[in-house]
Structure 1
Amino acid sequence: IEAVKVAEILVPTVTDRIDARILAQAGPQLRLIASFGTGVDHIDLATARQRGITVTNTPGVLTEDTADMTMALILAVSRRLTEGERLVRAGTWEGWGPTLMLGHRIWGKRLGIIGMGRIGQAVARRARGFGLSIHYHNRRRVHPDIETELEATYWESLDQMLARMDIISINCPHTPATYHLLSSRRLKLLRPTSILVNTSRGEVIDENALAKSLAGRELAGAGLDVFEQEPAINPKLLELDNVVLMPHMGSATIEGRLDMGEKVIINIKTFVDGHTPPDRVLEQLF
């Protein structure tokens, strides 16, 4: 808070909550919040706008990294990779057996992507290489050329899509409209053989409802790189063996971090030079 009082420019990460209380401490000289990250749900955009503060982020540079993590989780959950690794490390593996660690083939399965932006499309491109058929739900339908390229089927109804998919990937941002989008009711629409992967934001899923579905085997498995109360993990999830838990490392590549830093610098320099930063965040888009 002391730094905010004298700062002209803030460079927070996604773990730094810049809410109305923090912004109330800022002096009139604070004109730019150049966030080191893509998501902006940690910043009170409405208050920033009211105070005339420009907000920027670092979009685009983490697309491929996050899509890689999404595919890694789909494979890890479907093929029980982390369970197998734990078996070996525990020293209890007794050798190959025809029924040992049986998972599920992903070739030929249906992938439902929630949020068909940059990351969702990158996930779709990877998934096609693994023989998955692509389905998606988005707040608005993507251009027909993209649908043709990805051989993607659009579902206007999220509920209908959930009920028919083998794998669900969450790639939408966290906004008031997407908070607990995967509610208890919607989780019950999924097939018992389905898996769910989230590399977006933890708040999009009702974690208590998810833990209940996983514990009751109403859902085959889940792969989570994000959580509702990071870094705290819902203890109900920690008790389960059919969920893969990652420490929000979907964007954690050396190349990605360097690209993010470069975008932050460009946004700051452009702003200081009196121009509109290339990655200015517009509140109405979120």
Structure 2
Amino acid sequence: MTATMPPKPEPFVHPALFYRSDAEYLEGLVPFVTDGLDAGQPVAISVPGPQGRLLTDALGPAAERVHLLDMTVAGRNPGRIIAGVLRRFADRHRDRHVRIIGEPIWPGRSATEYPACAQHEALINAAFTGRDVTIVCPYDVAGLEASVLADARQTHPLLWEGEQRYPSADYAPDDVVARYNEPFQHTGDAEVHLVATAADLSPARRRIADRARTLGLPAARIPDLELIATELAANSLQHAGAPCELRLWRENGEIVCEARDTGQLTDPLAGRRPAEGFSGRGLLLINDLADLVRTHTSAQGTTIRAYLRP
């Protein structure tokens, strides 16, 4: 009789840390950092500024060996966190186990931002399957709504609370991605700029830029908007094989550029993972330039909204 070897455990670990105070925050994360450093593992911390200062003060001289980012800057758009924060660090250290603290959801995230945040947390699991990486995501129990914590239980296979470490009975990341694939409300009387062929790209880009100036977008951000509009329309022409309708308006102090086409976006990680060759660079660039990107896709078509803060 031949013995059957048990399957190797998944090397990727993705816990949510539920904390109720600064003390619980430090008790859960400082040992995670110092144990990694002692083992010679690369460690990155990407959390909101005040939390970063809290951790670096507690770590003392060890903080100099940690890669630190302010998540409110690097991850303001949740769509760029996987490629621009997590993968950028992990890919530099493929020969060793990597430890990352990432806090993309904090009190103060808007209702417009949150669906993209929840989808990001769910998609981390698909993006890092098989990778020798641990990503701990802290959640402020005192400051976040109960629904956010419920989503965290669905997007993280492991939960850390105080000294407890246990698997989440509610883990269902695909359900979260689908639930926040929300249809958008109508945009009122926003002008429509139809891009049916590549020849329409330049005129549409000029009209979008002119409209943005009248809506108060600073001159320094006009080139970003022009690139976003161009890539949105070109993506529709290339991948949907259909015309793109571009719209632009101001909403809650932000400039919103929207693209609609009749194609269906089947890869939820499109634009969120590092590009391979020339494939996927357009959506990746949009995520890099915009302050927020939201998407709704179905068999009837796809709408992508890119938000820019003046």
TM over 0.5: no
Per the normalisation by structure 2, the TM-score is 0.30
Please identify which structure carries the higher helix content: 2
Per the normalisation by structure 1, the TM-score is 0.32
Please identify which structure carries the higher strand content: 2
